[in-house]
Structure 1
Amino acid sequence: MEDPLDALRPLMATHSLDALIVPSEDSHQSEYVSARDKRRAFVSGFTGSAGLALITMDDARLWTDGRYFLQATKELSDRWKLMRIGEDPSVENWIADNLPSDAAIGVDPWCVSVEAAQRWEHAFSKKKQSLIQLSTNLVDEVWKTRPPLEIHPVVVQPLEFAGRSVAEKLKDLREKLAQENAYAIVIATLDEVAWLYNVRGNDVAYCPVIHAFAIVTDDSAFFYVDKRKVSAEVHQYLTKNGIEVREYGVVESEVALLASGELRYSSSRKDSQVEAPKDGEIGLTRNNENEAKENKSSFIWVDPGTCCFAIYSKLPSERVLLQQSPLALAKAVKNPVELEGLRKAHIRDGAAVVQYLVWLDNKMQDIYGASGYFLEPEGTNKRKRSETMKITEVSASDKLEGFRAKQEHFKGLSFPTISSVGPNAAIIHYSPNLKSCSELDADSIYLFDSGAQYQDGTTDITRTVHFGNPSAHEKACYTAVLKGHIALDSARFPTGTTGHALDILARVPLWKDGLDYRHGTGHGIGSYLNVHEGPQLISFRPHARNVALQPSMTITDEPGYYEDGNFGIRLENVLIVKEADTKFNFGDKGYLSFEHITWAPYQKKLMDPTLLTPEEIQWVNNYHSTCREVLLPYMDEHEIAWLKRATEPISS
């Protein structure tokens, strides 16, 4: 097959381009995209979820962050140069410094956010370089095996799981618009559209979302989606909630009409004064001119981080309010029904994880005579592999999915399972491949990071185990990660604190030994939505300062340590932010703390109790005690015996 670089460069010359930027994102700036939108992976060979490719006539570079340095090194051919974000110059700075003045840099404006495009334009302008908005995506023109468009149905998320009606959410949204002197908002983020309209889909693997846009005005609501995905029942549901369904492809032209005040409901509404438009036409009222004049002092709200540049370019810049979507925070602060659903989903998920660990422990004993969660006497874990049996990273991952699939409300996985042994565990976002995956080894650490989509909640958990006799170094590293994990879980902090301030708590135990990790410590998690959800996060990165943690937000607690070529360790629970009961209330700020809702034992074998404080030991014992309490009803007799043994108290 022809290398995409060789196919793209003649096309670039035809368009008079000096360089082509190929982002990872789709038209909705999604982290995870459908197979047909994986353009950056196609051109570069790098399959991680985050990255940006730059192609010039004689160079090709791939930017990605610390989670993917090892993976990118393995996947990129020698025609590509890896650029490490945080260590190497940014893409805009590299272009400004290495391409000639008046250079033309092309990009598909549907695949880049307003924020990124404006940043690039500013950097390029310093040398009179220009960002060119291409009318077609050049990668699509050379991608002969691009996966076809698939049609998946839109489904309604019932109120018993959503917790709040569409009417309530629209009312809150319109109040936010009024507060900001905006009369409309363009919503491009897939999970925000799904959350606002209480619908779900299957257009992106692992994410229950639909490829759709939404426009909401002070008196209208539109849903731009491939109408083939909308059944009569769902259409009726949307109409009943005041939402008009329109074709996905007309959103670009209708955004332009929105700016002129001409975008209105079709005349199917009782108060309309015009004839109903034919299919594909845009319904307008006779009072558009007056309404447009009235709205000239108002703004159209656009989120610069999630709206694509193509949509923004259809709007007069002086009429646009560039500000984070109000739905981001509204979605992040879970309502009581969503919180209860998340708690229940995590209990069932914990049961599946424990059943998997019991199965894995038994299999490793059969194959190697090695036990996972129980430390055997020195010398009993001699390698005696059975040649008739083996467990691979992929077969283990499949087995875990099988246990989850038996749980109530299971809809699928929430991301590709990271099932990794030894050196593979040091690749932070490793994804095992059936053809090249490793076999589980009694002498190596095994890390699995996995989660599921249940209709009442999304889960994400990481545990690290060893089936032989871990070294003192491995135990010390695991214990340092555990100490950081406990420190964050146990934190109490004043209202207004951001995740940037809390990130250090999980790192201090590692820093004491000169260790660290290259990823953030926590991300939000959806309610049967995306496993990575903002705007809140716990991270060392500056944008973690932007949003303070609030009660009823969800956040993960996942410090780690990765030793290239040797092993990786990560521990992860999901937390709910809650109000803290403190003895004092300095400054009348109010204080917050965390409630952990993930339930699966930690491996006592990998702990060095002498490195734990009495308070940390008590935390582990209390956590394990609650694990027994909440998970025993889901276990059979054999699993109960295992769980009781795995959660026996530890002492120093």
Structure 2
Amino acid sequence: MFQSFDDATSPDQGPPRLKALQQQLEKEGFHGFLIPRADAYQGEYVAPSDDRLAWLTGFTGSAGFCAVLRDIAGVFIDGRYRVQVKAQVDTDHYTPVAWPETKPGPWLKQHLPEAHKMAYDPWLHTKSELEAIENSGVTLVTTSNLVDRIWTDRPAPPMGKIAVQPLELAGESHDDKRARLAAQLHDAGHDAAVLTLPDSIAWLLNIRGTDIKRNPVPHCFAVLHADASVDLFVAAEKLSEIGDHLGGEVRIHSPDAFLGELAGLKGTIRVDKSSAPAIVSQTITAEVVWDEDPCILPKARKNAVEIEGARAAHIRDAHAMVNFLAWLDSQKPGLTEIDVVTALEGFRAETNALRDISFETIAGAGPNGAIVHYRCTKTTNRAVKDGELLLVDSGGQYVDGTTDITRTVVMGTPTREQCECYTLVLQGMIALSMARFPRGVAGRDLDALARAPLWRHGLDYDHGTGHGVGSYLCVHEGPARISRLSEVPLKPGMILSNEPGYYREGAFGIRIENLIVVQDAPAMGDKRDQLSFETLTWVPFDRRLIAVDMLSPLERQWIDGYHAKIAEKLSVQGGVRDWLVAATAPL
């Protein structure tokens, strides 16, 4: 219904495209060109017209980039995609590079001949990215996009309609948001802030878009001024359905006017070097001050209305998941991954409230589950065999909230080893769920809680433990996350995922994920100022995979309490109710 199972670029298409690009390099007098998985808006997900990395290499992961030189092409991928890249990319012509362990600057310095130029498109890279490369002694030069010159059938850019996110769901008017953030700009001595992240603009103006599948954001740019007015750069046809929602203090301009308006700005202009494309600061003639996008933190801290919406969305989504899991348990081995995805999306659609799935559903059977961000296609589609694990990571976009949940289940009877690995992952998820911590603690301080049970057995996983989640916005949202790399203090209202895992290449993958929201912890002990998590996700774990003898009394109590709340919160009937009663029975 929502997801296509067509294959992306075939690996055999990569080499001729690479050759054409390398010929273009020689023609232009450059020795290399950078191709990121990015667009001008620096979002995680890109429209087909901007998916240059996939078109060139075949790699479809949500993060990575390619550095094409005349004699080598490095595809930089992080730990989530080390298995996937082998299947999607022709490794006779492209060289996978472990990133961020290997930084692009030193790699380019090693492979670039002395005094040769590395070209880049200034719309597709941030100032921070470029500085990191230049600090390694690499000479960078701007150019128009070289991939676009050889991509003769490139799709047209999206022109999706914009809708209003009403006050009863947003919890704060865009007039009040603009005034609140403008006051902060004024206090900091900033005359304006340039906004380039679509979800920031969507949040600020209480609008949602359809330019990117799975992420309800519009492609646009904006400038927020210290007088609370906004210049919005967006195609006028996108605004045809929102009436006078924006009001007189939001001035509409064509996207083509963006650079001209930037060049005319006066005073001190705030730019986020980690998210704004480099061309922004290269164009502004006024004083540029580097500072964070002013929407980032307020957007992450959901208000009471947004949190209540998230609770409602998760209960609705839990009903769909329980119907799906009950159906799954009634199936015989041999069910394919596509069957699983199609059924789950159908159950979500039956809520009559689903606007979209929140990302491409992951259904990895057996060894495919070890591919962290696996996406099944007609070519990779695999049947779930008896005794195999099935990892299902999915979510929904509802007008009142965004969901993201992973459950790993077994088809048939599990092995002891499968149960032990599953239980270690579950213990890590429970440890993070139960955490109390002082105000000011960051994600890096909590990440080890979820890994400790695995570490004690010499195991680990190569991705972060949790990411931020938007309010009917992007399923991956900054600035906070549960990761050893995150220094952002956690604050009340932040919604995060809690998703430890374990992956054995060629055998199976396990991941268990709930969404949690940061809250003020109830007073106890010596009344220290502490925070804790409220769980938002209410879907049972697979009891067949829990090695009860490995659990502490406290862990067992937590699981039984969690399952009891699920049985209380969800209203299902007939056979599904019978399944739920069994699934949530005390251990």
Please indicate the TM-score interval, normalised by the length of the shorter structure: over 0.9
> Displacement, 1:312?
1.3
Structure 1 counterpart SS, 2:109:
helix
**Structure 2 Cα separation of the partners of residues 207 and 359 of structure 1:** 28
Deviations for 1:450-482, whole angstroms, at most 9, x for unmatched residues? 001000000000000002211111110000000
**Structure 1 Cα separation of the partners of residues 234 and 342 of structure 2:** 33
> Displacement, 1:149?
2.5
Match for residue 371 of structure 2? 427
Contact 2:384 2:411 in 1 (8 A): no
Match for residue 452 of structure 2? 508
CA RMSD of aligned residues (A): 1.3
Structure 2 counterpart SS, 1:237:
coil
Structure 2 counterpart SS, 1:432:
coil
> Displacement, 1:213?
0.5
Match for residue 148 of structure 2? 140
Match for residue 247 of structure 2? 239
Runs of 5+ unmatched residues, structure 1: 262-294, 369-389
Contact 1:24 1:38 in 2 (8 A): yes
Structure 2 counterpart SS, 1:186:
strand
Contact 1:409 1:456 in 2 (8 A): no
> Displacement, 1:99?
1.3
Contact 2:47 2:157 in 1 (8 A): no
Q: Does 1:66 align with 2:79?
A: yes
Match for residue 17 of structure 1? 30
> Displacement, 1:122?
2.4
Deviations for 1:552-575, whole angstroms, at most 9, x for unmatched residues? 111111000000100000000000
Match for residue 393 of structure 2? 449
**Structure 2 Cα separation of the partners of residues 517 and 610 of structure 1:** 23
Q: Does 1:323 align with 2:281?
A: no
Deviations for 1:76-107, whole angstroms, at most 9, x for unmatched residues? 102011101144x3111111122122110001
Q: Does 1:210 align with 2:218?
A: yes
Match for residue 8 of structure 2? none
Moved more, 554-563 or 140-149: 140-149
Match for residue 48 of structure 1? 61
Supply the AA of the counterpart residue of 2:30.
Answer: L
Which one of the candidate residues 264, 278, 282 is aligned to 1:309? 278
Deviations for 1:413-462, whole angstroms, at most 9, x for unmatched residues? 00000001000000000000023310122221000000010000000000
**Residue pairs, 1:541-560, within 5 angstroms:** 541=485, 544-545=486-487, 547-560=488-501
Structure 2 counterpart SS, 1:94:
helix
Q: Does 1:483 align with 2:427?
A: yes
- Percent identity at matched positions? 40
> Displacement, 1:235?
4.8
**Structure 1 Cα separation of the partners of residues 236 and 565 of structure 2:** 48
Deviations for 1:91-131, whole angstroms, at most 9, x for unmatched residues? 1111112212211000111000111112222223xxxx421
**Structure 1 Cα separation of the partners of residues 362 and 218 of structure 2:** 25
Which one of the candidate residues 20, 33, 38 is aligned to 1:7? 20
> Displacement, 1:643?
0.3
Deviations for 1:161-218, whole angstroms, at most 9, x for unmatched residues? 1111001100111111012210100000010010000011110111000000011112
**Structure 2 Cα separation of the partners of residues 168 and 573 of structure 1:** 32
Supply the AA of the counterpart residue of 1:31.
Answer: E
Greater gyration radius:
1
Contact 1:39 1:139 in 2 (8 A): yes
Runs of 5+ unmatched residues, structure 2: 1-12
Match for residue 546 of structure 2? 607
Q: Does 1:621 align with 2:565?
A: no
**Structure 2 Cα separation of the partners of residues 206 and 565 of structure 1:** 30
Contact 1:235 1:245 in 2 (8 A): no
Match for residue 10 of structure 2? none
Match for residue 508 of structure 2? 567
**Structure 1 Cα separation of the partners of residues 351 and 252 of structure 2:** 34
**Residue pairs, 1:77-226, within 5 angstroms:** 77=90, 78-87=92-101, 89-124=102-137, 129-134=138-143, 136-219=144-227, 220-226=229-235
Moved more, 249-258 or 336-345: 249-258
For normalisation by structure 2, the TM-score amounts to 0.96
Contact 2:193 2:294 in 1 (8 A): no
**Structure 2 Cα separation of the partners of residues 303 and 645 of structure 1:** 51
Deviations for 1:534-569, whole angstroms, at most 9, x for unmatched residues? 10000122xx01x10011111111000000100000
Supply the AA of the counterpart residue of 1:257.
Answer: G
For normalisation by structure 1, the TM-score amounts to 0.86
**Structure 1 Cα separation of the partners of residues 130 and 256 of structure 2:** 22
Structure 1 counterpart SS, 2:515:
strand
**Structure 2 Cα separation of the partners of residues 594 and 408 of structure 1:** 30
Deviations for 1:303-360, whole angstroms, at most 9, x for unmatched residues? 11110001110124x7111111121000000011000000000000011000001111
Structure 2 counterpart SS, 1:537:
strand
> Displacement, 1:585?
4.2
**Structure 1 Cα separation of the partners of residues 280 and 391 of structure 2:** 42
Structure 1 counterpart SS, 2:18:
helix
Match for residue 345 of structure 1? 313
Supply the AA of the counterpart residue of 1:201.
Answer: G
Supply the AA of the counterpart residue of 1:80.
Answer: Y
Supply the AA of the counterpart residue of 1:550.
Answer: K
- Distance change >3 Å, CA 235–CA 111, structure 1 → 2: farther
> Displacement, 1:530?
0.1
How many residues matched?
572
Match for residue 644 of structure 1? 581
**Structure 1 Cα separation of the partners of residues 468 and 153 of structure 2:** 35
